[in-house]
């Protein structure tokens, strides 16, 4: 039986006190709704439908890359009404799995259990036992333990409020009977809404089995209604991701002080120090060491490479046994080959650096191709931008760039060439030769250091300096 997933995501989220729709609030760098869509893809559905309402255009624009069908709910008249909008396009022979756009930690394995129960003909509910069930619909069972109804918190009597087993909101059912149950919903309640939970009573009256399975953990079904709950979900997600890395072989200096905002893969014996932030697709090969306060985004780091503290690595490829930092920045397009050293306050952008090369201090390499075994001295810069265009610099194998050199692109430094310290090189240099450019050094006789002026003398000096010249 084919599966249709419906994600209810039309709510405004007033308690967020935010101009951003609730389902677009960020969890680990991605919208809440995107986490739910990813979980839905994990059960291989035929279709995923997202019912949208508040901020619909913004929600669709933010998730336009997702392969989902968008279903409008112009009036938000409750969860039952929201599902009705999607049922119009779902075939009777499908199983329907209902998710919520603000329940982002749900696991595909749990969803599969729900869908399998429904495929066998039951109305399947996902429940959880909570110490504090405030705000949740209570699971009311018959004497034989079967589910007879779900009672919303506001409609529950005193005895029902004592029930700790609650409905997570997630359910699955065969499409044809679900459609009939939805058509029978009434809105004669305090909120004047059509509650999806009322289909439980309708199913029981129709003689349909109502099966309830409990979530593995309460955190799996945590909903997000305000910024406090958002931070709680973030903490759970962070803990789960940290555990996954440790099970894969990484050592974390403090699992509570790492942020994982994407898909991170690690090899054996990786070490990650405190306050690391890993974003997007990150691969850390065996034996990589990441120092404190580093940001690594959409990058691959080769085996045995060490990244010292306070580095930023973005969209870069780093080979094995490199040394980076501290306080280094690798910008998009950076490729480092085996054994490269990038030191403190060095910035690299759109540059490939060959094996064994070094730029250890206070250097900028942009739009460049650097060969193997090159040494770039402290304070050297590739001057790649003329105010309108970017130009390349090529430094061949074995070159030595003296400290404080300016390489004005486009320019080529020959293999084995040496650039004298303090040079501004604007023309390509030959292989194996020393090239330098310096003005004549002079000593100015009679010069004295400036002395501190009174405020009046200072004002007069400024006035003289800024006076327009006579024409």
CA atoms within 13 A of residue 305's CA, in its CB half-sphere:
28
Residue 96 and residue 191 in one domain? yes
Whether residue 235 lies inside any domain: the answer is: no
Residue 164 and residue 283 in one domain? no
Whether residue 444 lies inside any domain: the answer is: no
Whether residue 232 lies inside any domain: the answer is: no
Residue 348 and residue 398 in one domain? yes
Residue 173 and residue 285 in one domain? no
Residue 108 and residue 156 in one domain? yes
Residue 191 and residue 143 in one domain? yes
Whether residue 460 lies inside any domain: the answer is: no
Q: Whose structure tokens read 């979980």?
A: 39
Whether residue 239 lies inside any domain: the answer is: no
Residue 92 and residue 196 in one domain? yes
Residue 122 and residue 254 in one domain? no
Domain boundary, last residue among 205, 221, 237: 221
Residue 321 and residue 270 in one domain? yes
Domain with 395 in it: what CATH number?
A: 2.160.10.10
Query: pLDDT tens, position by position, for the chain (471 residues)?
Result: 799 999 999 988 889 999 999 999 999 999 999 999 999 999 999 999 999 998 899 999 999 999 999 999 988 899 999 999 999 999 999 999 999 999 999 999 999 999 999 999 999 999 999 888 888 888 988 888 878 888 888 888 998 999 999 989 899 999 999 999 999 998 887 778 898 988 988 998 898 989 899 998 889 999 999 999 999 999 999 999 999 999 999 999 999 999 999 999 999 999 999 999 999 999 999 999 999 999 999 999 999 999 999 999 999 999 999 999 999 999 999 999 999 999 999 999 999 999 999 999 999 999 999 999 999 999 999 999 999 999 999 999 999 999 999 999 999 999 999 999 999 999 999 999 999 998 888 889 998 988 899 999 989 988 888 886 655
Active site residues: 361
Residue 70 and residue 205 in one domain? yes
Residue 82 and residue 194 in one domain? yes
Domain with 174 in it: what CATH number?
A: 3.90.550.10
Q: In angstroms, what CA-CA distances link 372 with 19, 40, 335, 376, 391?
A: 52, 48, 13, 12, 21
In the chain, how many domains are there?
2
What's the rounded Cα separation, in Å, for the pair 240 and 384?
Answer: 44
CA 430, 435, 439, 441: dihedral to nearest 10 degrees? -160
Q: What pTM, to 2 d.p., does this model score?
A: 0.86
The whole-number pLDDT of residue 469 equals 64
The whole-number pLDDT of residue 227 equals 96
The whole-number pLDDT of residue 351 equals 98
The whole-number pLDDT of residue 470 equals 59
Residue 155 and residue 276 in one domain? no
Whether residue 463 lies inside any domain: the answer is: no
Whether residue 103 lies inside any domain: the answer is: yes
Domain that holds residue 286: 247-435
Whether residue 451 lies inside any domain: the answer is: no
For 414, residues 6+ apart whose C-beta sits below 8 A from its C-beta are 396, 399, 428, 429, 430, 431, 432, 433
């Amino acid at each position: 039986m084919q599966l249709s997933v419906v994600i209810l995501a039309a709510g405004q989220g007033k308690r967020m006190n935010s101009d951003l729709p609730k389902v677009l609030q960020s969890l680990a760098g991605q919208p809440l709704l995107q986490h739910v869509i990813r979980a839905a893809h994990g059960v291989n559905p035929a279709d995923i439908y997202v019912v949208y309402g508040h901020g619909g255009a913004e929600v669709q624009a933010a998730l336009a890359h997702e392969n989902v069908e968008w279903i409008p709910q112009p009036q938000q008249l409750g969860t039952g009404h929201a599902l009705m909008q999607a049922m119009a396009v779902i075939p009777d022979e499908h199983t329907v799995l209902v998710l919520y756009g603000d329940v982002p930690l749900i696991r595909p394995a749990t969803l599969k259990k729900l869908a399998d129960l429904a495929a066998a003909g039951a109305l399947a509910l996902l429940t959880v036992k909570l110490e504090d069930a405030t705000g949740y619909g209570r699971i009311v069972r018959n004497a034989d333990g079967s589910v007879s109804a779900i009672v919303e918190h506001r409609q529950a009597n005193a005895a029902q409020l004592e029930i700790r087993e609650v409905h997570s909101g997630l359910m699955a059912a065969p499409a044809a009977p679900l459609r009939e149950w939805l058509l029978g919903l009434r809105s004669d309640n305090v909120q004047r809404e059509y509650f999806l939970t009322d289909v439980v009573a309708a199913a029981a009256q129709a003689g349909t089995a109502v099966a309830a399975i409990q979530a593995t953990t309460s955190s799996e079904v945590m909903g997000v209604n305000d910024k406090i709950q958002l931070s709680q979900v973030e903490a759970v997600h962070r803990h789960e991701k940290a555990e996954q890395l440790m099970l894969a072989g990484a050592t974390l200096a403090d699992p509570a002080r790492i942020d994982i905002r994407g898909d991170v893969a690690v090899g054996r014996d990786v070490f990650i120090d405190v306050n690391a932030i890993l974003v997007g697709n990150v691969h850390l090969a065996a034996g990589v060491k990441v120092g404190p306060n580093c940001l690594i985004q959409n990058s691959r780091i080769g085996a045995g490479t060490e990244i010292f503290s306070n580095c930023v690595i973005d969209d870069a490829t780093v080979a094995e046994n490199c040394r980076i930092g501290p306080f280094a920045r690798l910008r998009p397009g950076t490729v480092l080959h085996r054994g490269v050293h990038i030191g403190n306050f060095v910035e690299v952008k759109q540059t490939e650096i060959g094996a064994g090369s070094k730029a250890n201090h206070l250097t900028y390499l942009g739009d460049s191709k650097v060969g193997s075994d090159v040494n770039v001295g402290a304070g050297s810069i590739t001057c790649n931008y003329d105010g309108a265009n970017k130009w390349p610099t090529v430094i061949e194998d074995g070159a030595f760039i003296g400290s404080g050199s300016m390489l004005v692109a486009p320019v080529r430094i020959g293999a084995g060439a040496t650039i004298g310290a303090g040079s501004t090189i604007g023309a390509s240099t030959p292989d194996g030769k020393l090239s330098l450019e310096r003005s004549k050094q002079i000593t100015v006789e009679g010069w004295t250091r400036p002395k501190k002026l009174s405020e009046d003398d200072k004002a007069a000096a400024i006035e003289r300096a800024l006076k327009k010249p006579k024409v």
